[in-house]
Structure 1
Amino acid sequence: EDHNNIYLLKFKGFYFHCAAFDTGLSENLDDFEIRDDDVFVVTYPKSGTIWAQQILSLIYFEEHRKRTENLEAAHRVPFLEYSSRDIDFGKRPSPRLFTTHIPYYLVPRGLKDKKAKIIYIYRNPKDVMCSYFHYINTYPVFKAADTIEAFMKQFLEGKVLGSVWFDHVRGWYEHRNYFNIQFMMYEEMKKDLRSSVLKLCKFLGEDLSEEAVNAVVRQASFENMKDDPLANFENTLYRGFGPKLQEGHFLRKGTIGDWKNHMTVQQNERFDKIFQKQMKDFPLQFIWDVNETQN
């Protein structure tokens, strides 16, 4: 019996989370009305999604930066495919901010006129896989693979929310010319958050004072987010999936190279072979270890 079926729903060739998925919206995603000043954060799961929600909330909302308004980042930058029942997107004031995991071929047609902005964050897939493994083992609803070996098979076959990692990042990159898109590397954001925030502000056309930039960088640091109920996503997950199996934070480590603590030499070699085959001639760089600069 395929234990994934319990929470995965395949729709147009892509795996969604069935509990939260809004088929009505998704059937019509193509026609979802895009405004010129919309901003989309696109990620494969476990690649910095929650972090991006926090960074954008801090850039766009002074009341989030100054904490004068008690609203979670997850509500400020809601999921396109998982929130529509609670939120009337049409009534949201501009600029509207969205989060999504969907592949390039499912996005609203209106994004192709290149006015609305897309930020695509990618992360090295070994860390994505290990982070994912912890995540699905934290929430009983997922009926997860219990070893990294078993999960690696599932991950590489794309039998997870988000489907095949390689297809996701390659698809978006190879179709980048259809969109107004900025690629950001998770590891670079980690190493130099300030430069990354400035790069984002420039892409978004948001001119922040130095004081505001400092506040964004401070409040978007992993340590600060981890204990911040407005940023750490735990309330949202609790509402969606109920209590966790173990104590500990949804935002677990947020490091680079944690895969070395999980993968055997043999698993790593197998992964590398597949990576090389899937990603040969792929121009985006990857960082695999906290000490290395771009290879």
Structure 2
Amino acid sequence: MDNTDTYLLNFKGCYFQRSLVDVDLVEHLDDFEIRDDDVFIITYPKSGTIWTQQILSLIYFEGHRNRSELVNTCDRVPFLEYSAQKVDHVNRPSPRLFTSHLPYYLAPKGLKNRKAKIVYIYRNPKDVLTSYFHFSNWLVTFEPSDNIEHFMKRFLDGKVMGSLWFDHIRGWYEHRHDFNILFMMYEEMKKDLRSSVLKISSFLEKELSEEDLDVVVSQATFQNMKLDPQANYDYILEAENWTRTKEGDFLRKGTIGDWKHHLTVEQNERFDRIFQMKMKDFPLKFIWDINEE
């Protein structure tokens, strides 16, 4: 049974989460006014979105670094197209930080003046698939799957929020010259968070002292984020009753190569064939296992 229309809204070829999307905003994205100092985190779902929200919050807000301000990262770096709280983006003070899963062709026109900045985080798609499978089964706002084979079919058909992974990353990369954009690989960030934070802060032209850099790196580790209610979204899920079970965490594992524990040999080989067909000429590298250099 295909419940796609129950959970998803198709707008101009992109699937949005029906129960959470701000339809009016999405319909007027072309006209959304972009400021020169706006910063966007753009990801395909389950690619390090919440992690990067935390990193940018720590870079930009001293009150977040020293814990003197109790503001959640989802409020500091809210989603553009998803807003349960109906954020008034127009009256937000600058610099505004945004989060988005938008494909390149739906991005506001103002982003193409190359002044506002975009940090695009990408992750190996087998781990994206695995994380997305667990995430969709946990949250009531997502369509559950009986098994990973069922979810893998929907993922490879692009019938999930964010649509087809291959199109999302390829679209942003092939149109990178239209934007002021930095591509960061999730796995490289996991392997060397300090260097990654320096690279991001340099791109954002936000100079950090050694002391501040140490704090950002420490508070942005996966384990510290799991324990930080301002960063991990668990409190929202509890307040809104968005989970199917009380067991589980918004930040589940964050590991590299977790797909090996979920995909069969046949599923892995099938995925590899499709990946090679669609991405054989794609220049960005991918890390599939924690032991890869």
What range describes the TM-score normalised by the shorter chain of this pair? over 0.9
- 2:186 alignment counterpart: 186
- 1:136 alignment counterpart: 136
**Structure 2 counterpart SS, 1:140:** coil
- 2:156 alignment counterpart: 156
Distance 1:239 1:161, change over 3 A: farther
- How many residues align? The count is 293
Tell whether the 8 Å contact from 1:40 to 1:99 is kept in structure 2 after alignment: yes
Distance 1:143 1:74 in 2: 23
TM alignment of 1:210-289, pairs within 5 A: 210-239=210-239, 242-289=242-289
Deviations 1:13-36 (A, max 9, x none): 100011111111111101100000
Tell whether the 8 Å contact from 1:3 to 1:144 is kept in structure 2 after alignment: no
Deviations 1:102-157 (A, max 9, x none): 00000100000100000000000000000000001112342311111111101000
Unpaired stretches in structure 2, ≥5 consecutive residues: none
Deviations 1:182-201 (A, max 9, x none): 00000000000000000001
Deviations 1:156-187 (A, max 9, x none): 00110000000000000000000000000000
- 2:97 alignment counterpart: 97
How much has 1:241 moved relative to structure 2? 5.3
Name the aligned partner's letter for residue 205 of structure 1. E
Tell whether the 8 Å contact from 1:257 to 1:290 is kept in structure 2 after alignment: yes
Name the aligned partner's letter for residue 25 of structure 1. L
Distance 1:276 1:12 in 2: 27
- 1:59 alignment counterpart: 59
Tell whether the 8 Å contact from 1:74 to 1:236 is kept in structure 2 after alignment: no
Name the aligned partner's letter for residue 71 of structure 2. L
Distance 1:137 1:2, change over 3 A: same
Name the aligned partner's letter for residue 59 of structure 2. I
Deviations 1:85-116 (A, max 9, x none): 52111111111000000000001000001000
Tell whether the 8 Å contact from 2:19 to 2:141 is kept in structure 1 after alignment: no
1:28 aligns with 2:28: yes
Tell whether the 8 Å contact from 1:38 to 1:116 is kept in structure 2 after alignment: yes
Tell whether the 8 Å contact from 1:57 to 1:73 is kept in structure 2 after alignment: yes
Deviations 1:224-271 (A, max 9, x none): 001111000122334555244241211010000000000001100000
Q: Which sits farther off after the overlay, 143-152 or 38-47?
A: 143-152
| Percentage identity across paired residues of the two chains | 66
Distance 1:271 1:157 in 2: 12
Tell whether the 8 Å contact from 1:53 to 1:77 is kept in structure 2 after alignment: yes
Question: Structure 2 length as normaliser, TM-score?
Answer: 0.97
Name the aligned partner's letter for residue 168 of structure 2. H
Tell whether the 8 Å contact from 2:9 to 2:18 is kept in structure 1 after alignment: yes
**Structure 1 counterpart SS, 2:229:** coil
Distance 1:76 1:211, change over 3 A: same
- 2:75 alignment counterpart: 75
Distance 1:157 1:79 in 2: 25
Tell whether the 8 Å contact from 2:20 to 2:84 is kept in structure 1 after alignment: no
Tell whether the 8 Å contact from 1:40 to 1:97 is kept in structure 2 after alignment: yes
Distance 1:242 1:99 in 2: 20
Name the aligned partner's letter for residue 161 of structure 1. M
**Structure 1 counterpart SS, 2:171:** helix
Tell whether the 8 Å contact from 2:138 to 2:243 is kept in structure 1 after alignment: no
- 2:8 alignment counterpart: 8
1:111 aligns with 2:146: no
Distance 2:171 2:213 in 1: 32
Distance 1:30 1:143 in 2: 29
